[in-house]
Structure 1
């Protein structure tokens, strides 16, 4: 509860109703001084997100160790004892990706300091005559261009790609879309060194991944809606289940990230490495298994039917999210600047 001093004036600042106690009986606003210190604003912000300490830790405990318990409690009407599903997801998502952005995983990419100069020299020497260039490329290329291949990354430079597209026989030319994709990739490679590409890609991917997950959640809920009784379960019910499930996944990712970062400080220790392997195995295993008991407990079907449905739903959504993330990764790469 807020520790702010109650105003002497008993008129509610929001609705002008007479306030006898701390909270207005008409609109519920607290009758306290509106001028706050920075400390008060910070504490109030955190309290608002976590809905006070007891509710926060109760929510986290149930989310981690009692699959579907939060969803059943929420839909049964017990809502003040736990964080609301949307607030819970936003809070965990915010903390997870904020910490990942603050403590990025170090990725070492080999960089040849003479790479750009060598590339420029090669371009000047090899592409003076476009017709002879294509003959040289075709002779030296170990793999021929397959027109049915969706993506072909086997090009050394933008000039090489353009020369092939301009001078190659018609059957060996890329489709317009395939050429556009490969040209974008070559532009990125030309304007950035490998370490720069990796750094920009990771930053962009991490920054936008929460949006991808948020867009995917309605799709996940839609598949749940398709596979269950439409009269008994509304789409809203599946949406609450989805919010809690995705909150759980992000929370496990956050915990594993923090644990791995902490143990990485002791990476020379054999005990720390062993603990890291065990904890990651348990965490990832719990992530994959969690959906099965959650589905069974929430929808109340027999174990066999629940296992069949949850297995099918799990693999459908796993394949779908892999495709979406792969496309998103490609989109992120070709839009690097």
Structure 2
């Protein structure tokens, strides 16, 4: 940091504590003049920015290519050289889901499919006019069939469902929960077209997914705590490991998302398609494999024990996240408006 003139007054401007040296022993604030020249402000800003950038890129490099290195460094006390785990996760999470919202994936709805099919026939106008009529008929038939089969529980309307539930014999009535959930689905179907349902679902799901992951992380750390020595490792240690691991997963997902978005416009080339496939294969493979070396290096167990624990933990958490996401999918759908 740049040198600043020490104040003659030894009273801290922040907490009014007596300052014998450069920094206040009570609050840590530097006892320097608050009025700075423009040159000093510029140099101070540049130094802070450079320090932040160095810490940021050092953190990203270790996070991507050195499993568990960040966690070990942080817990050993080396914390100023890297971004704090919570700040790192929040930053990556924010950027990831912001870009997904800005650049949403294309939805293969019937309307989009019809647009793509009709654009192919633009070269021949007379042929296009003939096909457009046929496509219109086929599209209407397809939309009707697909909408009929989307979450079809055998009820044409909410009124029919209510009537059956009210007047049918007890043996044919639905349970309270089944009746409630099916009615919710039926209301969503009646108020929205299929394309609207897909669009709203993707938007709502993407918006709330960070909350689901944030809720799941303490559960992930809890299972790490169950599987390891309670005297050697605190829950806090597992929490830091979890934050770094989930930051890594989101960062790889973000990189793959950006690469695919960049290559999609030119993916008609077989060479580009091959590159896209290889990048996705390597990225997803690294996401799956990463947990094993990270677990082994952080907890310091033998390779066999670490592999067995890692595999069991991976399976347990995979099942849990599928269950949680399934519940979240249902919750998202029944709350569409």
* Secondary structure of the corresponding residue to residue 52 of structure 1: helix
Work out the CA distance in 2 between the residues paired with 1:68 and 1:263: 31
Work out the CA distance in 1 between the residues paired with 2:336 and 2:5: 54
1:131 corresponds in structure 2 to: none
1:223 corresponds in structure 2 to: 223
1:175 corresponds in structure 2 to: 175
2:102 corresponds in structure 1 to: 102
* Secondary structure of the corresponding residue to residue 279 of structure 1: helix
1:62 deviates by 0.7
The question of whether the paired residues in 2 share the 8 Å contact of 1:22 and 1:32 is answered with no
1:157 deviates by 2.6
Alignment of 1:283 with 2:283, yes or no, is: yes
1:156–1:12 Cα change, 3 Å: farther
1:268 corresponds in structure 2 to: 268
2:65 corresponds in structure 1 to: 65
Mapping of 1:1-337 within 5 angstroms?
A: 13-16=13-16, 27-29=27-29, 52-110=52-110, 153-337=153-337
Work out the CA distance in 2 between the residues paired with 1:154 and 1:274: 44
The question of whether the paired residues in 2 share the 8 Å contact of 1:7 and 1:33 is answered with no
1:282–1:167 Cα change, 3 Å: same
The question of whether the paired residues in 2 share the 8 Å contact of 1:152 and 1:182 is answered with no
* 5+ long unaligned stretches in structure 2: 112-135, 146-150
Encode CA deviations 1:112-133: one digit per residue, 9 max, x unaligned.
Answer: 9979xx99xxxxxxxxxxxxxx
1:202 deviates by 1.0
Work out the CA distance in 2 between the residues paired with 1:114 and 1:9: 83
Work out the CA distance in 1 between the residues paired with 2:257 and 2:33: 41
Normalised TM-score (structure 2): 0.78
Encode CA deviations 1:151-189: one digit per residue, 9 max, x unaligned.
Answer: 973433323322332343322221110110010111111
1:280–1:189 Cα change, 3 Å: same
Work out the CA distance in 2 between the residues paired with 1:56 and 1:195: 41
Structure in which a larger fraction of residues adopt helix = 2
The question of whether the paired residues in 2 share the 8 Å contact of 1:217 and 1:242 is answered with yes
1:68–1:161 Cα change, 3 Å: same
* 5+ long unaligned stretches in structure 1: 120-150
* Secondary structure of the corresponding residue to residue 266 of structure 2: coil
Alignment size in residue pairs: 297
1:8 deviates by 9.3
